[in-house]
Structure 1
Amino acid sequence: MAHATKSKAKGISASSFLDLKAELAKKEGEFSRNAASGKKLSKPEKKPTVWARKNKGVNNRAARDIELEAVSKPTLESARAALERKAKIYDKLRKGKSGGLSEKQFDALLVDFDYKPPEWEDDEDDIDESLTVPRAPNDDSDPIIEYEDEFGRVRTAPRSEVPRELLPGARTEEVDEDEDIIIRNPVNHFPIYTPSADRVAEIEKMHAEENNPLGVHYDATSEVRAKGAGFYQFSGDEETRQRQMEELRAAREETQATRQGQGAVDASVEGMVAGGSSAGEGVGKGVEKRKREIEERRRKIEAKRRKLKGEPAIADDPTMTTTAVRKDEEETAVFVAGAPEPEPDTAPDPFAAFESQQVTEKNRSRGKGKGRSDEADAFLASLENDILNRKKGK
């Protein structure tokens, strides 16, 4: 080890070691001072992150922008020079000079340079009012005159303060066509329109009852919409309308007679029907339907009871009605005076007979299955006894 260390340190002098040691002591002193003062150590800069990197071509684009600005700078300077030249021309025109423009160019201008608004002036340029000589009241430029006001009074005032319509000779110069309708002063009374006797008679005739009949019927042409399949447009004339209604009524009666002759069945009406002789018929049909529903319910209950007991179904007997069913009929059925009672339904119910037959077949199949299971149980029991006896014999 000693030989290797000596061989490595062979080319290093003692002064180099002393310099290195002094530099190390210096850095340690700086570190201790910085730590005591609370200063942070400067760390070497790291590699910039993705977010800190610049996009590619940023410098090239910046240089290109500088070149474009340099190109556009002469354009701005030329525009500024043109505006200054125009400003000089406008200033000359405002002062009343030609400004180098021809008559056509001057007429085509959109600005009236002859009109000059009052400019702001400093107080130092004001003229002393004490130096101005006041004019006499009877100055020729604004004399005092007499005039008659709207109330007929004669008054005196400077001409500049007299209203234009009250100046002497103003009315005699020219008569205005709209003089009667112009309101010059506040008016508290306005004329009211009063129709003449002829106009009143015309209005009364227009609104008379014979010209506006009350029996106005519905007009389908006033509505733009689809009408129903049974829609019929009657005429606006009363006589034609009545004739059409009679024809429609006759066609309806003919249809009803044809249906009755062929034995057609009308649809049953449920519930109450308003007015007429058909009201009793509608209620009677409703009662008959209710009684049929009760009878059907009674048959279903009887069939279920027989099915549970395993009894065969029999034909329904209209006389075999229980007291409960009769009581139910009496409580729920609404009888109308004079309504015919429905005839008893003596025909057997095929659905109840078929259902009872199916129940009987199911019961028979259940009995056969039970006998088979009993035979199997007996065989297994005998087999078990034989096995036990053999074990005991051994």
Structure 2
Amino acid sequence: MASNNSLYGNPPQKHPQSTNPQSSSSLAFTSHLSSLISQHQSSSTTGRARPSKSSKSDIFSVSNRGSQKRAAADLLDDNNGQQHKSVKDIGKVDEATLHRSKRRMEEKARLYEDLKKGDYLAGDSDDEDDSVGGVDEGRSGGDVYMARLRRKEKEGLVDFDRKWADEERKREDKYEEEEDGDDNASIISYEDDLGRTRHGTRAEAARVLAESQSQQEAAERWRPQRPTNLIYGEAIQTQAFNPDANTASQMSYLAARRDRSPTPPEETHYDPEGEVRNRGTGFYAFSKDENVRKQQMEELMEARDETIKERDARRERRAERERLKDERRMKIEELRVKRRAEVFLAGLGDLGVQS
């Protein structure tokens, strides 16, 4: 079958490849030439750069104003030399004053060294007493100095016992002066509002008394008024024997209202016939006569005693019967156990004979 090329289109034409490709050296030359041409065009269009107005050589340079003046002043001082104050400026000091000052400074320095070492505390009390009395013969200069130093230290301390005694003496003297000068300042004993014994001046006692009286008056103000005809202590009321007309009428009125029934009242008993009512089987109507009533009460008490005795005897008989029943029951149980044992043994004997 023959193929028809017109149905699918004509195939593309194949171009013949060149047999002489461009070398690498020619490509490098072309690129270098194009770069030179572009630089020449840019340099021709760009103008000259504007010079900077700043006089600084770089950004790190810092201005130092007045450096030349300071350098000139330093050179002037070096030329003149260092100047010190002389005797004319501070005045003149004599040799005695200078020697005394040196001696005091040396003594202070030695004292400071001794204080740091603690040597001034090593002395005895006898040595201190001798030094105080002025007996310094036969001692070296160092011992005399240490004794004098300890004496100064002792004099510098505070005697608190003597200080307290002086204050107490001053206080007592002041108190005596106030007591002599003012009688009102004397110490007296008084009782306060609670009944306690206090010690104080007369003014304090008067003030406490005034306060207690004011409190009593305030308390009395709120209480009801007391009657004026109260009787205090022992007294004989003669008006009870010789009353006036008003009192006699009141007494007669009270006597008329008084209950005149006998005291103690008469004995009364229950009257069974006083009312109609149904009574139980145990009801017993006592007589109104006292003797008959007493006899009936005695008969009832005797009957009660007999009933109690019969009840106790019956209780004892019942307990005896119960005891006998228990004994009989125990005997029957024992016989029953024996009978069961005999039957069991008899059964065992029959088994042995058969075997």
* Category of TM-score, reference length = shorter chain: under 0.3
Larger helix fraction of residues: 2
Q: Which has the higher contact order (CA 8 A, sep 6+)?
A: 1
